[in-house]
Structure 1
Amino acid sequence: MTQEQLLAMIVQKEERAYTHMYNMYSKSLFAVISNMIKDKEEAEDVLQESFVKIWKNIDSYTESKGRFYTWILNVTRNTAIDKLRSKGFNNSKKNLPSDNFVHLLEDSSRMTYRIDAIGLRDFVKKLKPKCIEIINLLFFKGYTQQEASDELGIPLGTVKTQNRNCINDLRNFLQV
Structure 2
Amino acid sequence: MSGRTVYIIPEEELVRRVQEKDKLAFEYLYDRYSKAIYGVVFRIVRSEEVASEVLNDAFLRYWERSEKYDSSKGKLYTWMVNIARNLAIDKTRSKEFSQSGKTDSVESFVYAEAALPMEEMKVDGIGVRELLSKLKPDQAEIVDLMYFQGYTQSEIEEKFNIPLGTVKTRLRAGMILLRKLLNVDK
Match of 1:54 in 2: 62
> What is the CA–CA distance in structure 2 between the aligned matches of 1:66 and 1:21, rounded to whole Å?
17
Residue 161 to residue 34, structure 1, CA distance change in 2 (3 Å): same
Is the aligned partner of 1:161 residue 2:133? Answer: yes
Match of 2:84 in 1: 76
Match of 2:50 in 1: 42
> What is the CA–CA distance in structure 1 between the aligned matches of 2:41 and 2:28, rounded to whole Å?
20
**Which residues of structure 2 form unaligned runs of 5+?**
1-8, 103-111, 158-186
Residue 87 to residue 160, structure 1, CA distance change in 2 (3 Å): farther
The equivalences for 1:78-93 within 5 A come to 78-93=86-101
Match of 2:20 in 1: 12
> What is the CA–CA distance in structure 1 between the aligned matches of 2:152 and 2:53, rounded to whole Å?
34
Amino acid at match of 2:126: T
Amino acid at match of 2:65: N
CA RMSD of aligned residues (A): 2.9
TM-score normalised to structure 1 length: 0.63
**1:89-123 CA distances to partner (integer Å, 9 max, x unpaired)?**
111227xxxxxxxxxxxxxxxx89xx7xxxxx453
Match of 1:63 among 55, 71, 74: 71
Shift of 1:174: 4.7
**Which residues of structure 1 form unaligned runs of 5+?**
95-110, 116-120, 125-134, 149-155
Amino acid at match of 1:167: D
Residue pair 1:30, 1:44 contacting (<8 A) in 2 also: yes
Residue 87 to residue 65, structure 1, CA distance change in 2 (3 Å): same
Shift of 1:160: 3.9
Shift of 1:78: 0.7
TM-score normalised to structure 2 length: 0.60
Match of 2:126 in 1: 144
Residue pair 1:46, 1:80 contacting (<8 A) in 2 also: yes
**1:13-44 CA distances to partner (integer Å, 9 max, x unpaired)?**
01112211100000110110111111101001
> What is the CA–CA distance in structure 1 between the aligned matches of 2:83 and 2:17, rounded to whole Å?
19
Identity in percent? 27
Residue 14 to residue 7, structure 1, CA distance change in 2 (3 Å): same
Number of residue pairs aligned between Structure 1 and Structure 2: 130
Residue 174 to residue 71, structure 1, CA distance change in 2 (3 Å): farther
Is the aligned partner of 1:123 residue 2:119? Answer: yes
Residue 168 to residue 13, structure 1, CA distance change in 2 (3 Å): closer
Higher relative contact order (CA 8 A, sep 6+): 1
> What is the CA–CA distance in structure 2 between the aligned matches of 1:79 and 1:26, rounded to whole Å?
15
More helix by share: 1
Q: Determine helix, strand or coil for the equivalent of 2:81.
A: helix
